[in-house]
């Protein structure tokens, strides 16, 4: 029988490996977006409370009038957080490739190690913000060929996930449910199959659930499936109390991860008593219960 490793203290029993994605090492398994906060100051507090060390940012046109306003980078410690630029809002591979290159140029100027990274989104329609699978695959190929480390937003379709990995994506990031919808994990079985495909013969391949989180239990549920991380934004930024929710997300991510590593008990239809059957008072001499079963 395999003996578990000796436990030096109860805290050591919770020790974990960092999340490794495309040459980067992340201590936290939460990746947090920087959009939709009421203020940059609130965003900075929430990032801190979430425990994340990787934050997503978007690339947008500079305002040509009143340009002297503050920049989000005035509120993000780029020595503490790895920046992950996204291609949010792109509906074609051409636009996504352009935005990825602009993000790379911005991050290179900053000297941020996230420069060679991109969170690729190629969207199919504005109402659902679901990914365009054909465009996503094409953009993945082009960006990989251009030297990018591609973390790709996709649906929870397992065959698509496999195709994206084959195209060279450093991480496949299936959505739990539509972006910003707060519906949580709608198809846990698809995510299970995605993981089976993506981790087949490659158990350390990182799978990150991107989008759909509404509350802390959604993060825990995703992590309990064995995904390597969760990317979220709106669930914190639009909570009634964002800072408190950021704490909740940190705890949920830890709880879900630990539960996955610990290995849950199987579900059973019938009860199994936690207290001993033997020694109950009033048992008859034959050992049977005086009450009907």
Partner 1 sequence: MEITILVNGQPRGVPAGSTAGDLVAVLGFAGRPLAVEVNEQVVPRARLSDCKLESGDRLELVTLVGGG
CB of residue 257 vs partner 1: minimum separation in angstroms? 21
SS3 1: coil
Catalytic residue among 119, 162, 199, 267: 119
How far CA 86 is from CA of 40, 58, 103, in Å, comes to 19, 5, 8
Asked whether the beta carbons of 88 and 121 are under 8 A apart, the reply is yes
C-beta closer to partner 1: residue 88 or 164: 88
CA 43 – CA 219 distance, rounded (Å): 19
Tokens of 232: 């979220």
Shortest distance, position 70 Cβ to partner 1, whole Å: 10
Q: Closer CB to partner 1, residue 46 or residue 205?
A: 46
Q: How far is the CB of 76 from partner 1 (least distance, A)?
A: 9
- Residue 162 is among the residues annotated as catalytic for this protein: no
Q: Which is nearer to partner 1, 158 or 177 (CB)?
A: 177
**Choice between 72 and 251, CB closer to partner 1:** 72
Query: What residue ranges bind partner 1 (CB under 8 A)?
Result: 33-37, 40, 43, 56-62, 64, 67-68, 71-73, 83, 85-86, 88, 98, 101-106, 108-110, 179-180, 211, 231-234
Please, what's the b/e burial string for 5-39 (b: 16 or more CB within 10 A of its CB; e: otherwise)?
Answer: eeeeeeeeeeeeeebebeebebebbbbbbbbebee
133-145 and 93-110 helices, crossing angle to 10°: 40
* Whole-Å CA distances, 160 to 97, 117, 167, 215, 222: 20, 21, 10, 27, 19
Quote the least distance from Cβ 91 to partner 1, whole Å: 16
Catalytic site positions: 119
């Amino acid at each position: 029988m395999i003996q578990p490793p000796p436990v030096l203290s109860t805290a050591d029993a919770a020790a974990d490996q960092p999340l490794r994605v495309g040459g980067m090492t992340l201590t936290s398994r939460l990746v947090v977006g920087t959009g939709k906060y009421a203020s940059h100051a609130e965003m900075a507090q929430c990032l801190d409370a979430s425990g994340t060390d990787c934050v997503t940012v978007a690339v947008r046109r500079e305002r040509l009038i009143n340009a002297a306003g503050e920049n989000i980078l005035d509120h993000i410690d780029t020595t503490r957080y790895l920046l992950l630029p996204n291609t949010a809002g792109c509906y074609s591979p051409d636009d996504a490739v352009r935005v990825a290159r602009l993000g790379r140029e911005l991050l290179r100027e900053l000297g941020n190690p996230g420069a060679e990274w991109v969170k690729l989104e190629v969207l199919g329609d504005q109402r659902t913000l679901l990914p365009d699978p054909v465009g996503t695959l094409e953009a993945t190929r082009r960006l990989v060929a251009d030297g990018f480390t591609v973390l790709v937003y996709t649906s929870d379709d397992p065959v698509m996930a496999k195709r994206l990995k084959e195209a060279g994506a450093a991480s496949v990031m299936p959505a739990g449910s539509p972006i910003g919808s707060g519906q949580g994990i709608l198809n846990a079985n698809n995510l299970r199959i995605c993981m089976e495909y993506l981790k087949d013969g490659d158990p350390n391949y990182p799978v990150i659930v991107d989008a759909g989180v509404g509350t802390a239990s959604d993060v825990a549920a995703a992590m309990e499936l064995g995904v390597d991380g969760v990317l979220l934004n709106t669930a914190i930024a639009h909570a009634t109390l964002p800072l408190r929710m950021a704490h909740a997300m940190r705890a949920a991510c830890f709880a879900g991860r630990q539960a996955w590593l610990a290995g849950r008990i199987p579900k059973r239809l019938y009860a199994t008593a936690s207290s001993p059957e033997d020694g109950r008072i009033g048992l008859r001499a034959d050992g049977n219960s005086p009450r009907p079963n």
